[in-house]
Structure 1
Amino acid sequence: MQIEQAKPTEAATVAAVLNEAAQWIAAEGRPLWSAADIAPERIQRDTDAGSYFIARKTGEMDGEVAGVVRLDLEDAHFWPEIESGTSLYVHKLAVRRAWAGHGVPALLLDFARERARSLGRPFLRLDCVADRAPLRALYERNGFVLHSVIHKGERAFARFELPVARLAD
């Protein structure tokens, strides 16, 4: 699997993966992202900013997109108390259904960990709706520890963090 920063011209590809995941989750009776969260103009803006990364299969099926993730340098909405420059934040991790069960989330999270390390950020942080037990278990299997649960409006969100060893100077 190869993971690279999405090019601005790949915003539609990113949006397609996010929409596929959103539709699957909604069909399961667990809607997650709002239409505004994955609106084409928002995806384009974030892709233009270099925030999205695409996981692609290498080898016989070169270039097939398996998943995407957005990595942000700041997250004042869910982590307002965290000092600027100390963390990398994982958002919008999504896997195409055809790649479910192939370890793509773990690969994307490993990539995010290495990216945080290379940026000199000592923590990788993320959040999810607090009642998503399978998602929380996925994060815990990948080394994340529950930091806290916060409330935003009517919903509770679990905040997870992972200490990232810094590169040797």
Structure 2
Amino acid sequence: MTDSKSVKVMQNIDQAIEVMRDAGKWLAESGKNPSEWWKLENLNSEFLLQYAKPEEFYVATVDDKPAAAAILQFTQTGQDWQNVDKDFLQPALYIHWLCVHRDFAGKNLPKIMIEFAEKLAQKNDVKLLRVDTNAEEMKLRNMYEKLGFELIIIMKEDYRKTALYQKRVKWGV
């Protein structure tokens, strides 16, 4: 476990992409058959900036080393929640590409990133965190559920089933 006091979370596109590339490499090498979003050839600023602004890339560092990353967005660009919201889009903070550098696996960093996202949502008066993941990846789904996310729907997409999760932001945390 990593002491949350030794972790700093900040905006940094280059370090965030470094962590994402490490995660993508591990996915490919471990035979997990990553989606196009996690293929190494797509984990670069040219590709990712089609879906996110530079200031939406966050990295957690441990002893100044990039350890975890995520894209945090207040706009729905990566996944379609219209099946859930219908015509009443809910204000939410959307979490994409949440990952941990392999050197820091098992150190509780997803929890630290989600806590940071909650604080960012609070600061912006947003009451929901939302994530999506491959519905077949039970380890990831279990992680989100342990972090307080509730499964909302499983949708069939062109190439996979996607699990949509959301979490109500706790106030005063």
TM-score range, shorter chain: 0.7 to 0.9
Q: Count how many residue pairs are aligned between Structure 1 and Structure 2.
A: 158
Q: CA deviation at 1:37?
A: 4.5
Q: 1:118 to 1:106 in 2, by over 3 A?
A: same
Q: CA deviation at 1:84?
A: 4.1
Q: Contact (CA 8 Å) 1:74, 1:84: kept in 2 or not?
A: no
Q: Tell me which residue corresponds to 1:2.
A: 8
Tell whether 2:75 aligns with 1:74.
yes
Q: Tell me, which stretches of 5 or more residues in structure 1 are unaligned?
A: none
Q: Tell me, which stretches of 5 or more residues in structure 2 are unaligned?
A: 1-6
Q: CA deviation at 1:111?
A: 0.8
Q: CA deviation at 1:2?
A: 0.9
Counterpart Cα distance in 2 of 1:119 and 1:37: 30
Q: Tell me which residue corresponds to 2:105.
A: 100
Q: CA deviation at 1:102?
A: 0.7
Q: CA deviation at 1:47?
A: 5.0
TM-score, reference length from structure 2: 0.82
Runs of 4+ in 1 over 6 A off after TM superposition: none
Q: Contact (CA 8 Å) 2:98, 2:110: kept in 1 or not?
A: yes
Q: Tell me which residue corresponds to 1:17.
A: 19
Structural mapping, 1:125-164, within 5 Å: 125-164=130-169
| SS state at 2:15 partner | helix
Please identify, of 148-157 and 24-33, the stretch whose mean Cα deviation from structure 2 is larger. 24-33
Percentage of identical aligned residues: 23
TM-score, reference length from structure 1: 0.84
What is the root-mean-square deviation in Å for CA atoms of aligned residues?
A: 2.0
Q: Tell me which residue corresponds to 2:123.
A: 118
